[in-house]
Amino acid sequence: MYVGIDIGGTKTLVATLDEHGVIIEQVKFPTPQKYDDFLHKLQTTIASFKSQDFEAGGLGMPVTLFDRDKERAINFSNLPWRNVAMQDDAEKICRCPFVVENDAKLAALSEAMLLKDSYHKILYVTVSTGIGVALVNHGHIDTNVGDGGGRTMLIDYKGELRPWESFASGRAIVEQFGKKAMDITDEASWGVIAHNLSKGIIELIALTEPEIIVIGGSVGTYFERYGDLLRAELKKYDLPLVPIPPIMGAQRPEEAVVYGCYDLIQQIYAHAAATN
């Protein structure tokens, strides 16, 4: 049995998965603002699962600065946690080895594995409380694509350079329209959202040259409401040197990170077994 943990700016999803990567149990809870409170909640959640015999675990977190060598999360996009030993703490609670990675990168890996027979270079954009960005190339996470996501991308918005996340994220949608994406049904509002998303996506297309783009996160869940509008916005930028690739909604937007935990575990342990 494996355990996957998806820490978001507003919610955390913890799930157990069997040897085939099928979710057996899952619990979702609001992400505490204090790190010690989070560890306590995680511990009680893990203790509530029927299975306690974990071979390994994976954890995705909305980290914007991650020291992978020292296995420490330095800075988070929408949480006040700083310089925490996330991997070590998770291993103590779950009593098994852990892999830890940026949440967007894990979600990207999960969605890329579903598309591996058709595409090799997948750009994943998760639009939730913030905006995360990841690139998967031939089934492997490209860690050179920054963990900062939409927070560190400066985009011209109404004549002013602003972080893309500040006007196109799920939080920005609530601030602008007074409601969450799930409650927005009119085409005019979605047209504005699609326009704001396109401004950052076109920059990412030029930078990464993906074969396909996948939109995930809580806003990605409603891709069918704005997908055509977003494609139309991106088409305005279509040039021979920067062709617009296909774009689609994530197939498992709510659970992509925990599935990505499983996929990364399989990659790491398969590689370790092959080299021993």
Structure confidence by residue, pLDDT tens digits, 178-195: 999 999 999 999 999 999
Q: What is the mean pLDDT of residues 149-154?
A: 91
Q: What is the mean pLDDT of residues 257-263?
A: 96
- Is residue 136 predicted with pLDDT exceeding 90? yes
- Is residue 156 predicted with pLDDT exceeding 70? yes
Q: Can you give the three-state secondary structure of 144-192, one letter per residue?
A: CCCCCHHHCCEEEECCEEEEHHHHHCHHHHHHHHCCCHHHCCCHHHHHH
Q: What is the mean pLDDT of residues 114-130?
A: 95
Say whether domain 106-249 belongs to CATH 3.40.50.620: no
pLDDT digits (tens, 9 = 90+) for 215-242: 999 899 999 999 999 999 999 988 877 7
- Is residue 265 predicted with pLDDT exceeding 70? yes
Q: Per-domain residue ranges for the chain?
A: 2-101, 106-249
The per-residue pLDDT for 242 is: 79
Q: How many Cα atoms occupy the beta-carbon half-sphere of 91 within 13 Å?
A: 10
- Residue 70's pLDDT band, with cuts at 50, 70 and 90, is low
Domain 2-101 adopts which CATH fold? Answer: Nucleotidyltransferase; domain 5 (3.30.420)
- Is residue 37 predicted with pLDDT exceeding 90? yes
Decide if 2-101 and 106-249 have a common fold.
Answer: yes
Cα separation, 9 vs 264, whole angstroms: 22
pTM: predicted TM-score of the whole model, two decimal places: 0.90
Closest C-alpha to 29, from 20, 21, 38? 38
Q: How many Cα atoms occupy the beta-carbon half-sphere of 213 within 13 Å?
A: 28
